[in-house]
């Protein structure tokens, strides 16, 4: 099969490799599409991603496709083994099923899983990877069936939307709250839609006019062009001088993080959603947090239930993702897809691996 293999920084090649074979309890999936995640680009730029397999490796985790073959059934359980993640339809997959891959294989019985913090599973397995290829394999329990009306392109948003739901699970957004989303990339625009569904008045800031125009199209009540005006002062003006009740920073940059904290009102909740690479030291006046009683939170990855909930939101068109797709590339053009994402050209980039 054809697959994109990463050998080092900016060294991504299309090669012929042997297709994977499904083992016991696994499914072989003909991949139709895979979204390009900022973390994929980070690995592409640096040549590694910490816990990823040794190079060369096939990147990609936002993938969807059709079940092509099934491995033999698992032997009967003889004791306490890994639990099926909550919320998964565990009825047997069939060849031909349209599916989306949940890459996070959690154990269900470690300390973190037993207390419901599945996104920090201590025995996390990365068995569902390699989306920039013609075929992928993984445990059958990690694949969710897609409704017929949901396109493959739409379904690639399951994983990033699940991460957004994890962030919102730790944020209190009350009806009528003023919410600021810093950054109008694909992630920020997903945060915008979820905040709107929770009954918030949402303000979005970004330096790119085209992204702000789409934010307004998706329902943002106000937008702030940070290339033209001071976003903190504008938030103050739009909230009668109080600041925002909730701020979500969807950009991993020092200035965006500073703006997020400074935009918070008394008792505001501030979420640093995006990772910052390379790591930075952020100058912070602790009095800002102390005297405003700010609650500063972070969020990372998602739980199995949040992945299922994301699929539900997509299936019922509660969150719109088609307007976020700006580029589609064929697998042979995967390098161009990565460069497009890295250079912030357009919005969401999808690599179509099937003819």
DSSP H or E stretch at residue 220: none
Q: In the chain, which residue ranges form alpha helices assigned H by DSSP? A: 38-46, 111-114, 152-155, 158-169, 186-197, 209-217, 231-238, 254-262, 286-292, 304-315, 334-342
Smallest Cα–Cα separation from 351: which of 25, 51, 33, 2? 33
pLDDT classification of 316: cutoffs 50, 70, 90: very high
DSSP H or E stretch at residue 9: none
Smallest Cα–Cα separation from 203: which of 298, 271, 195? 195
pLDDT per position as a tens digit, 44-81? 998 776 556 678 999 999 999 999 999 998 887 544 34
With pLDDT > 70 as the criterion, what percentage of the chain qualifies? Answer: 94
pLDDT classification of 86: cutoffs 50, 70, 90: very low
pLDDT of 51 reads 53
pLDDT of 36 reads 97
Considering the segment(s) 171-298 as one domain, its CATH architecture is 3-Layer(aba) Sandwich (3.40)
Mean pLDDT of the chain: 92
Considering only 69-83, 185-199, 249-263, which range has the smallest mean pLDDT? 69-83
Considering only 67-81, 238-252, 318-332, which range has the smallest mean pLDDT? 67-81
- Residue 277 pLDDT > 90, yes or no? no
- Distance, C-alpha 45 to centroid of its chain: 19
- Residue 204 pLDDT > 70, yes or no? yes
Cβ atoms of 347 and 326 closer than 8 Å:
yes
DSSP secondary structure string, 27-85?
EEEEEEEEEPPHHHHHHHHHS--TTSPSSSB----EEEEEEEEE-PPPPPP-S--PPPP
Q: Which residue has the higher pLDDT, 281 or 218?
A: 218
CA distance 38 to 251: 11
Cβ atoms of 331 and 353 closer than 8 Å:
yes
The pairing of beta strand 135-139 with beta strand 26-35: antiparallel
In the chain, domain spans: 2-161+302-352, 171-298
Location of structure tokens 């937008």 = 223
2-161+302-352: what CATH class? alpha beta
């Amino acid at each position: 099969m054809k697959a994109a293999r990463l050998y080092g920084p900016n060294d991504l090649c299309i090669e012929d490799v042997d297709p994977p074979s499904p083992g016991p309890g696994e499914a072989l999936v003909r991949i139709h599409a895979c979204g390009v995640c900022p973390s994929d680009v980070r690995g592409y730029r640096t040549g590694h991603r910490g816990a990823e397999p040794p190079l060369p490796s096939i990147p990609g985790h936002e993938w969807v496709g059709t079940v092509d073959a099934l491995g033999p059934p698992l032997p009967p359980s003889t004791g306490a083994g890994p639990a099926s993640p909550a919320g998964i339809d565990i009825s047997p997959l069939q060849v031909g099923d349209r599916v989306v891959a949940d890459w996070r294989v959690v154990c269900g019985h470690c300390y973190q899983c037993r207390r419901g913090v599945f996104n920090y599973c201590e025995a996390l397995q990365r068995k569902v990877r390699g989306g920039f290829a013609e075929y992928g394999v993984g445990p059958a329990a990690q694949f969710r069936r897609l409704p017929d009306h949901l396109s493959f392109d739409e379904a690639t948003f399951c994983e990033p939307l699940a991460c957004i739901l994890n962030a919102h699970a730790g944020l209190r957004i009350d009806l009528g709250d003023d919410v600021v989303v810093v950054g109008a990339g694909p992630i920020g625009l997903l945060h915008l839609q979820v905040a709107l569904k929770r009954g918030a008045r949402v303000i979005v800031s970004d330096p790119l006019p085209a992204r702000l125009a789409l934010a307004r199209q998706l329902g943002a009540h106000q937008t702030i062009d940070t290339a033209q005006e001071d976003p903190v002062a504008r938030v103050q003006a739009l909230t009668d001088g109080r600041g925002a009740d909730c701020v979500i920073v969807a950009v991993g940059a020092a200035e965006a993080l500073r703006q997020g904290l400074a935009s918070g009102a008394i008792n505001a909740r501030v979420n640093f959603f995006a990772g910052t690479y390379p790591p930075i030291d952020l100058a912070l006046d602790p009095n800002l947090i102390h005297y405003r009683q700010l609650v500063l939170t972070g969020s990372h990855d998602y739980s199995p239930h949040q992945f299922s909930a994301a699929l539900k939101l997509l299936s019922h068109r509660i969150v719109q993702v088609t307007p976020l797709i700006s580029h589609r590339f064929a697998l042979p053009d995967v390098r161009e897809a990565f460069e497009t994402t890295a250079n912030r050209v357009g919005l969401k980039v999808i690599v179509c691996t099937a003819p």
